[in-house]
Structure 1
Amino acid sequence: MKKHLLPVLLLAAGMATAQTPVKYRELPLGAVKPRGWLNDQLQTMRKGATGRLDEYYDKVRKDNGWLGGQGDAWEETPYWLDGALPLAYLLDDATLQAKVKRYVDWSLSTQRPNGFFGPYTKAERTKGKMETCQDGEDWWPRMVMLKVLQQYYTATNDKRVTDLMTRYFHYQLKNLKECPLAKWTEWAQSRGGDNMLTALWLYDQTKDPKLLELTELLYRQTTPWTRMFGERNWVMQAAANQTSEKWMDRHAVNVAMGLKTPAVYFLKSRDAKDLAALKTGFRDLMTLHGLPHGMFSGDEDLHGNEPTQGVELCAIVEAMFSLEQMVGITGDTDYMNALERMTFNALPAQTTDDYMSRQYFGIANQVQVSKGVYDFSLPFHRGMNNVYGHYAGYTCCTANMHQGWTKYASHLWYGTPDKGFAALVYGPNVLRTRAADGTDLTIEEETAYPFEDRIRFTISASKTVTLPLEFRIPNWCREATVSLNGQVLRTEKGGKTVRLQRTWKSGDKLELYFPMEVRTSNWARNSRTVERGPLVYALKISEQFTKLNHPQEGEYYEIQPQSDWNFGLPKKTIEKPAESLEVVTRTMTYPFVWNADHAPVEIRATGRKIPAWKLVEGVARQPVTTREEVYQGEVDAASEPITLIPYGCTKLRVVAFPVVP
């Protein structure tokens, strides 16, 4: 593999002429290696479901269609590979690489003469061949496998990938008019942006003009996300309409995937109106449907901003991937901050410590986890959507949850168009690459971020090297300090990227200091959330896990509170958080697990109980904080000490607090 890595690294760093107008270019899979707590997370996934799903999940394990069998031939196997394959190369795990490569090799070796690829269709099994596109099957799962193959190519430079893609995309161009995206399912129509993304990536490799023609055709057949985001009626209707009318346009996973479509199409159109529509749509989406943990509601439809609405795990990981693309294409720091907030808060809370079980729907103010229909727009008659289990709810999340952390890790660095590198989101890692002049370059990023406020970079190079490095100053940071070798270089306000163009020598040490002030933010029903840095903090509730078994959906966990949760935050705390809240930090313990016992930061506060705030039908519906800034109902006279911990370390919590006198 190593002999193929250099040309791909040089392309990513900007050595080749760019054909699409991106702000930052993705680096090849494997250039970034996780360290610290992030490596612990990925190692847990390797030992858990990500590394072993094919060993125990019958839908993937038995007679798999992506290995030529008659089993799963749709999305779940590619979903799993879309996280398992990058994990294999991030960890340099030869065993896992060999496991996922079986599926890659089968797809590459069984492409049909007409260009179609993937599991054999019903027509092929009965007639022995494909005579027309009518003998094909759903375009959608092939879009996911194209993402897998693209990542594999950047890790290995295996030319079979670009050959397959070229033939397949020519097949699409020839047949999409007769067999459009929506022919078999609406999923392909909603998610055509994924198809466009891979086609345009291939265009950057081959300069084949037919790929631009295909992109235009795909865009016309895809749900018109750009128009819907820009015209704004869609997002308002989505907040009001919970009927079956155009529900696929409100389906949270479709929306999460559709987010990137305007930015992807901009790569062809070069029309700034596409990016403006995306900006408007994303702001509206988060205003009307956003929740404190950084994700928008979706259970399964978009469902407003009440902290008792659910969020589908698939939607979180797909929104993260869309944001990673939006970051690279636009360079907009708002999307970088949104990516970190979603990753560090919403994502870890919906999986178990061993990364074997997950929630289909998680709730922001989640004070118990049990069977029930709650306030979800898709209750599902078994009532299993809120519990933690291998298969609880729909199993799409069983397969798709694996790409969240792996793709975050691989997007910690991007290449700049002028042959430098940019750290746009943060976490402990090592970047190994080559500069444009061929100099071997290693940048070690040492940090406990998001739990600490300092990020330290150490440069190692075979000789002095001149290139730009760029770093994001988070929006929430009032003023950051950038130091080199112990000397302050500059201070910068938040919400921008800092560019350092200089000659670097081996041993140079760069430090970013982002002071993390405690603050509060406003959410639905005038509730408040406590924040510090990129993390939101939630009430620590004692949790009792009970393992149960469902006859159809297998083993699962319910969680009941063992301490009181019905607290409001005093108005004084909201007005003067720095004076009212005590931040307590401790050394991180390794291996790190996102749970209450391992929380490296606590915020100590006082709260007052609201006696009338109780569970109703399993839901802790939010008391209203009036425009007078306090809840008007009965409140206990006595204040009590409470502890807040990072949202991602919780299973039970209150994160959106009523304000009390």
Structure 2
Amino acid sequence: MASLSLVGTSLLGFFGSLTSILKAPLALNTSAIIATSHTKSALLPLTFKPFPLGSIRPAGWLRNELRLMSDGLAGHEHDFYKYVAHSVWLGGDQDYSGLNEAFPYWFNGLVALAYGLDDERLKQQVTTSLQTVFDNQQEDGWLGPEKTTRDRNLWARFPFFLGLIQLAEADSAWTQPVVEKLHVFMRLMDRMMKDNYTGYNPPNDNCSPGNCGSDWGRVRMQDGMITLQWLYEHHPANQSRLLLDNMRYLHEGGLNWESWYTEEVYMGRLFDKDFNVVNPHGTYDDPNFPFEHGVNVGQGLKAAAVVRRWNHNATLVQTAMNGVNWTMRYHGSASGSILADERLVGLSPYSGSELCTTVETMYSLSYLYQALGTNYYADRAELAAFNALPAAMTPDHWAHQYMSQPNQPYAKHLDKTPFYNTNAWGATFGLEPNYPCCTVNHPQGWPKFLSSSWVRVGRSGVAHVLLSPSSINTTILNSPVTIVCNTAYPFLDHLSYTITTTKPITLYVRVPQWAGPTYSDTTITVNNTSPSSVNPNTETGLHAISLCPGTTHISYNLPSSIRAESRANETVAIYKGPLLYALEVSHTNTSTLPKTPAGDSTYASDYAPAECRDYEFHNTSAWNYAIDPSSLRYGGVAAAAAADELPNPIWTSGAAPGYIEVEGCKINWDMYLNSVPGYPPVGKEKKYCISEKEVLRLVPYGTAKTHMAELPVIDLARTEERSVKEQEQEEEQEKEESNG
């Protein structure tokens, strides 16, 4: 890995570097076209191939979660939400911006939810909507509501197309229509790109650098390239050369992440990399905004791996790792998301993660594991899924946050916002707090986690890579294979598999990095034989189990221990396995009819279903605690007593099995802007108890909607010793005064 040392670039040199990234593309070199022979694919293969949508079904708590989504906001936006039900894509007049992205975002997530659950009602929403869009495809092939060439912007097509290719794999009745419509569009896209990048980076897009409408598509070009690669590999339709050309146009005309994640540019931003210094960025001008926009970053984490498939540049493997590693080191939340509100910020515990950023980060990390096979990416995908995602949703999935904070003792209208570009309602739970994008984009989170949870390994292998309760039905070596995983993971440490196959196959289970380095207690038991220790591949984390024809039962024991990981300002985050544990702050709530994003008015009482409400959570217990990590102890369910069936909903207060106890005390902790908890005190002299020592209970972060996750460290033994000495000194002073 490249050194993390700060590159000493001048401010002039820094903006010069950015200018080279953001400048308009060079004239097209039509001779530089990659060969398109399908006897040898022009694309590098994925390390692990995903299974078609619908092959994997949820079980246990994950099935309950997807069902709550179906019964909640995600499953009913088509019925009432104006940006879906009356979308410009469907002949209506509604979208929240000129990008026309609301319907594509919704469609991308709902396809995965509908076919992951095999839910006929949701499938009907998908197909009736799609038929309307297809019926309105314009004569030249354009898909979307834009009526003039000047209004066309490629960006919103990218999430819509991601939904299309999922549908084409899940429903054979739609495969041919989807492929035909996409190919007609790709021929138009080819002509547009050759015509001075029309709809992508046109010369007449005269706006300030970093703030162009076209920048959204250019910085998110990898999402469009995925669809082109899917067509090339599965349905080229004698257009292989054209598809490869379009990949090249996207890259040459794009804002490319491999130019951003370099020592010179990323490490030359003149920001202090001292891990204890929060908010290292300060304020920047516009040119680098596309690369610092949180959702862009979440989407862009996969860019290097997507581009590498096309251009075969081996250095992009390291670029991908740099992108994730640097982002999470300098801007990562303890819950696995990215701190950006909405532009990247440092590690201040009151900074937030946008829900859109979380689900896009999950998708990127899942893709990175499939593309590159590095265990780190799967670990981080689970971290975001099991912590950041559920924390931002109410248990019934009818309300969500726009912005979630690591230290969030309440979720209410703030007197003054601490965020870069999020209003005072952004951390409340509701239909569309602050901005509508997360309302339509959040449904992709759990469904795409499910569809990425199993992968194909070679010709005869199946791997469980994002651990969770689920089943898969597929064909290996032309024979049917069924695998069922029952588990309460991540809450408990045991997974049970039942595999039925008619031919010898290999089952792989992923062993997370936190279970290492020796893995001596992590065991596999096959058909009640003696347990054997795992021996995972050092890169992929996969442990192989050879299976004979018939039915096999496997027990996977994956014990976890408590970890205290350092965060900024002498704080720690507490983990066990993939779960972050936090101090739950008790609260009461108030609710209203759904409000508009600005929060200045409510919708009519008949606009949304009665279940759809906006909530503020007001704390009723103290939050200003420091803890002594030496006293951490687990108070969960013994493995022998563990059950796979969990309460429904599981991501709610008191439902999850297991908790961690720790000793702590209240400390003086200043507010920031008189609105949110600020930076905790740093230094032993500034951190002292102002209350008696208490035993505190930490619970899974995703279950505690009001919480403190980054807790200051205090040495209670030293504090008690100091208190005794101070008391003795006070008594001695009193004696002297009385004698005097």
When the two structures are superposed, what TM-score results if normalisation uses the length of structure 1? 0.90
1:173 aligned partner: 190
Task: State how far apart, in whole Å, the 1-side matches of 2:65 and 2:158 are.
Answer: 27
Matches within 5 A, 1:432-511: 432-436=473-477, 438-461=478-501, 463=502, 465-478=503-516, 479=519, 480-487=522-529, 488-492=531-535, 496-500=540-544, 502-511=546-555
Q: Does 1:156 align with 2:166?
A: no
CA contact (8 A) 1:296 1:305 kept: no
Q: Secondary structure at the match of 1:572?
A: strand
1:418 is matched with: 459
1:21 aligns with 2:45: yes
- Can you list the C-alpha shifts for 1:234-275, whole angstroms capped at 9, x where unaligned? 366384243342222210001111111110011112221011
The residue type equivalent to 2:51 in the other structure is: L
Shift of the 294–553 alpha-carbon distance from structure 1 to 2, 3 Å rule, reads farther
Aligned to 1:297: 339
Q: What secondary structure is seen at the aligned counterpart in 1 of 2:654?
A: helix
CA contact (8 A) 1:235 1:285 kept: no
Match 2:111 to one of 73, 76, 85 = 85
Alpha-carbon distance in 1 for matches of 2:46, 2:84: 36
1:393 aligns with 2:434: yes
2:663 — aligned with what? 606
1:38 equivalent among 48, 62, 65: 62
Which residues in structure 2 correspond to 1:257-276 (within 5 Å)?
257-276=299-318
User: Structure 2 CA distance, aligned partners of 1:540 and 1:402?
Assistant: 26
Task: Measure how far apart 1:193 and its partner are.
Answer: 0.9
Shift of 1:614: 5.1
Structure 2 partner of 1:558: 616
Give matches, 1:58-207, under 5 Å.
58-62=82-86, 64-72=87-95, 74-119=100-145, 121-123=146-148, 134-135=149-150, 137-157=152-172, 158-177=175-194, 178=196, 179-183=198-202, 184-207=213-236
Cα separation, 2, equivalents of 1:254 and 1:235: 19
Tell me, yes or no, if the aligned pair for 1:584 and 1:604 is still in contact at 8 Å.
no
Deviations 1:366-398 (A, max 9, x none): 011111243211143xx2111111011000011
CA distance in 2, matches of 1:501, 1:612: 52
CA distance in 2, matches of 1:235, 1:388: 36
Q: SS of the residue aligned with 1:598? A: coil
- Structure 1 residue 136: Cα displacement: 5.2
Checking the alignment, whether the CA contact within 8 Å between 1:333 and 1:497 is kept in structure 2 is yes
Identity fraction in percent: 27
Give secondary structure in 2 for the equivalent of 1:143.
Answer: helix
User: Could you say which residue in structure 2 is the equivalent of 1:591?
Assistant: 648
Partner-residue secondary structure (3-state), 2:525: strand
Instruction: Please give the residue correspondences for 1:306-325 in structure 2 after superposition, counting only pairs within 5 Å.
Output: 306-325=348-367
TM-score under structure 2 length normalisation? 0.80
SS in 2 for 1:604: strand
What is the CA–CA distance in structure 1 between the aligned matches of 2:301 and 2:184, rounded to whole Å? Answer: 28
Once the two structures are superposed, residues 12-54 of structure 1 have per-residue CA deviations (whole angstroms, 9 ceiling, x without a partner) of xxxx989532101111010000010000000000011111002
Change (3 A) 1:273 1:559: same
CA distance in 1: counterparts of 2:693 and 2:333, whole angstroms? 27
- Please give the per-residue CA displacement for 1:448-477, whole angstroms capped at 9, x wherever unaligned: 00001111110123x2x1222222110100
1:467-522 CA deviation, whole Å, 9 max, x = no partner? 22222110100312122112224333696423436343332012221111112100
Map Cα deviations across residues 523-568 of structure 1 (whole Å, 9 max, x no partner).
1112111110000100022111111354435552111111112111
Is contact 1:230-1:278 (8 Å) kept?
no
Q: CA deviation at 1:311?
A: 0.7
8 A Cα contact 1:181 1:192, kept in partner = no
CA distance in 1, matches of 2:677, 2:600: 28
SS at match of 1:59: helix
Query: What are the superposed Cα offsets for residues 311-364 of structure 1, whole Å, 9 maximum, x if unpaired?
Result: 100000111111121111001101000000000000000011221111111100
Corresponding residue number in structure 2 for 1:242: 283
Q: Are 1:196 and 1:215, in contact at CA under 8 Å, matched by a contact in 2?
A: yes
2:243 aligns with one of 211, 224, 227: 211
Q: Amino acid of the residue matched to residue 156 of structure 2?
A: P
Q: Secondary structure at the match of 2:309?
A: helix
> CA offsets, 1:105-131, max 9 Å, x none?
223333333222122x233xxxxxxxx
Q: Tell me the amino acid that sits aligned with residue 162 of structure 1.
A: V
List per-residue Cα deviations over 1:119-148 (Å, max 9, x = no partner): 2x233xxxxxxxxxx355111111111011
The amino acid that maps onto 1:114 is D
C-alpha separation in 2, matches of 1:571 and 1:101: 53
SS in 1 for 2:180: helix
Query: Partners in 2 of 1:306 and 1:631 — Cα distance?
Result: 21
Question: Residue 228 of structure 1: CA displacement?
Answer: 0.7
Give the residue type in structure 2 aligned to 1:205. Answer: H
1:374 to 411, 417, 441: 417
Shift of residue 232, structure 1, vs aligned partner: 5.5
SS at match of 1:660: coil
Corresponding residue SS for 1:525: coil
Task: Decide whether the 8 Å contact of 1:482 with 1:489 is kept in 2.
Answer: yes
Q: Which deviates more, 135-144 or 216-225?
A: 135-144
The runs of 5 or more residues in structure 1 that have no matched partner are 1-15, 124-133
Per the alignment, in what secondary structure is the counterpart of residue 414 of structure 1?
Answer: strand
**Deviation for aligned residue 1:400:** 0.6
SS at match of 2:660: strand
Q: Within 2, Cα distance between the matches of 1:631 and 1:453?
A: 40
Which runs of no fewer than 5 residues in structure 2 stay unpaired? 1-39, 203-212, 272-279, 594-598, 604-612, 716-740
In 1: Cα distance, 2:42 partner to 2:500 partner: 28
Partner in structure 2 of residue 636 of structure 1: 690
Query: Does residue 52 of structure 1 match 2:52?
Result: no
2:626–2:666 Cα contact (<8 Å) kept: yes
Q: Is the 8 A contact 2:343 2:420 kept in 1?
A: yes
SS of residue paired to 2:647: coil
One-letter code of the match for 1:567?
Answer: Y
Q: Within the alignment, does 1:226 sit opposite 2:258 as a pair?
A: yes
Q: Is the 8 A contact 1:21 1:270 kept in 2?
A: no
- 8 Å Cα contact 2:56-2:116 kept in structure 1: yes
Aligned length: 621
Q: 2:371 aligns with which of 323, 329, 332?
A: 329
Question: C-alpha separation between the residues in 2 aligned to 1:32 and 1:228?
Answer: 36
Q: 1:35 to 1:61 in 2, by over 3 A?
A: same
Q: Does 1:649 align with 2:649?
A: no
Q: Which is greater in Rg?
A: 2
In the aligned structure 2, how far is the partner of 1:232 from the partner of 1:557?
45
Aligned counterparts of 1:348 and 1:106: Cα–Cα separation in 2: 33
Asked whether the 8 Å contact 2:110–2:443 carries over to 1, the reply is yes
Distance in 1, Cα, partners of 2:139 & 2:166: 24
Deviations 1:581-600 (A, max 9, x none): 54456755432331112122
Is contact 2:669–2:677 with CA below 8 Å preserved after alignment?
no
After superposing the two structures, state which structure 1 stretch, 319-328 or 170-179, moved more: 170-179
Which whole-Å CA distance do the structure 2 matches of 1:44 and 1:482 have between them? 33
Which SS does the other structure have where 1:171 is aligned? Answer: helix
